[in-house]
Amino acid sequence: MKGLQGIRQIGLWIFLLALALFTAAPFIGTYRVSSEQLVAYADQQGFASDTLRVVLQTRVADQTFSSGAALYGELNEVVTTINEWHKEQQQWDKVAWTSPGEMALALGQQGGQGTIADHKMIWFLLTFGLGILGGLLFIIPGVWTLGPPGIKHNHIFFNPATRRGWIGWVAMAWLVLFYIILYFYPFWAISWTYIVEPVKYLFVDGFASQWFLYGVLYCTVMIVMGIRMIIKYRHNNYHIVRTISVVFFQVVFAFLLVELLPLWNLPSVDFKNAWPLDYDFLFDWNVTNLLQNESYGKAGLFVFVWGIILSVVLVPVLVYFFGKRWYCSWVCGCGGLAETLGDPYRQLSDKSLTSWKIERYLVHGVLLFAIVMTAWVGVHT
């Protein structure tokens, strides 16, 4: 048994090493965008302002930036200043509507220099590879160290990782910061997108977006923590089948099919993502794309009809007969992450009747808001 505990400790240190390397990656390397790359990007984005093009060539092209944030800072100053000038002159056709953050991400990916940009597969193995190895070395010995099958909650309120201790707070802060970067400051994620490019190459040549990075990380975490879930609840076939189901739908439907379908000129959609979870499904631009894009053929019409049937027929009927958990705990990727990665922390959630009432009002309030806003958008587009 001591040998197995030693393996778990080794696995923990390997995982922490991988996490440290992943966390440090945004601070490693420099960025230098060539004049040719800048011209090609400006043409691709359709920048109509000659002033913007000239200033970008002067202040950005062939300059070395120490980080994605430094590149963003220069782009933000240039683009914001020139856009404001064009707006004052009522020259709306010359305004660059691409955000400086998106520019910094796209240009930074093209002009990256350093060990991560030059050795992407090695860094993938050092981060994702070691992270998976360390996680499994920590989790799998639980088959023996946890004792006979059955739920074991010993010491969970004495562990700083599962009782709102300092480890839990650090983990929360890391996750919050990661999501802030992902949604609002993607130029900090340039090195992270390099790391997952070897996976992107399995589908198509090109740069990985921050959302592809998120998809790879999301699936990896759910698979590894799903194995932990199965080991913990190996005495209960319901939990085993449910865990396999939710991981399958996330990996196959929400990731693999979304990446593979465009290779055959088919819509890139998650077939289990029902409205209003897929909040822009009925937006004018999406409906137009599905029904009028000739490259899709009849596939676009199928996706549109399927989305309507799923949202207004299948989901309500199945909820009526089986409750909402058939989707949240068996199909939905959001619920899947909560059931796998969130399992060690489920004892911290409020189980009071007041909490349940608040959740109920919030859930139905959001649903009502989604219905009203979708109708409003539909009327005005």
Q: What is the DSSP string of 250-295?
A: IIIIIIIHHHHGGGGT-----TT--TTTSTTTTSHHHHHHHHH-GG
- Which of 220, 255, 247 is CA-nearest to residue 15? 220
Residue 128 sits in the same domain as residue 175: yes
Q: How confident is the model at residue 117 (pLDDT cuts 50, 70, 90)?
A: very high
Domain end position, chosen among 81, 113, 145: 113
Q: How confident is the model at residue 282 (pLDDT cuts 50, 70, 90)?
A: confident
Mean pLDDT (whole number) for 202-212: 92
Residue 97 sits in the same domain as residue 123: no
Confidence (pLDDT) at 8 = 94
Greatest CA span in the chain, whole angstroms? 76
Residue 359 lies in a domain: no
Residue 52 sits in the same domain as residue 154: no
Residue 86 sits in the same domain as residue 202: no
Residue 322 lies in a domain: no
Residue 104 sits in the same domain as residue 136: no
Residue 129 sits in the same domain as residue 65: no
Residue 131 sits in the same domain as residue 229: yes
- For residue 212, give both structure tokens: 């592809």
148 preceded by cis ω (within 30°)? no
Alpha carbons 348 and 116: distance in angstroms, whole number: 38
Domain count, the chain: 2
Residue 353 lies in a domain: no
Domain end position, chosen among 212, 244, 266: 266
pLDDT for 157 beyond 90: no
Domain end position, chosen among 244, 266, 288: 266
- Which of 150, 337, 156 is CA-nearest to residue 243? 337
pLDDT for 135 beyond 80: yes
43-52, 172-181, 236-245, 365-374: lowest mean pLDDT where?
A: 365-374
- Please report, for residues 254, 271, 320, the alpha-carbon distance to residue 308 in angstroms, rounded to integers and kept in the order given: 18, 11, 18
Residue 76 lies in a domain: yes
Confidence (pLDDT) at 107 = 96
Residue 344 lies in a domain: no
Confidence (pLDDT) at 29 = 95
Alpha carbons 339 and 352: distance in angstroms, whole number: 20
Residue 67 sits in the same domain as residue 146: no
83-92, 190-199, 286-295: lowest mean pLDDT where?
A: 286-295
pLDDT digits (tens, 9 = 90+) for 288-346: 999 998 889 899 999 999 999 999 999 999 999 998 888 988 999 999 999 999 999 88
β-sheet with 64-65: strand ranges across: 64-65, 30-32, 112-113
| Higher pLDDT, residue 275 or 32 | 32
Residue 160 sits in the same domain as residue 244: yes
Residue 80 sits in the same domain as residue 93: yes
Residue 8 lies in a domain: no
Share of the chain above pLDDT 70, in %: 99
Confidence (pLDDT) at 370 = 87
* Domain that includes residue 107, residue range: 30-113
Residue 305 lies in a domain: no
- For residue 161, give both structure tokens: 């990782």
Q: For residue 64, give the 3-state DSSP assignment.
A: strand
Residue 83 lies in a domain: yes
Residue 156 sits in the same domain as residue 228: yes
Residue 172 sits in the same domain as residue 97: no
Confidence (pLDDT) at 205 = 86
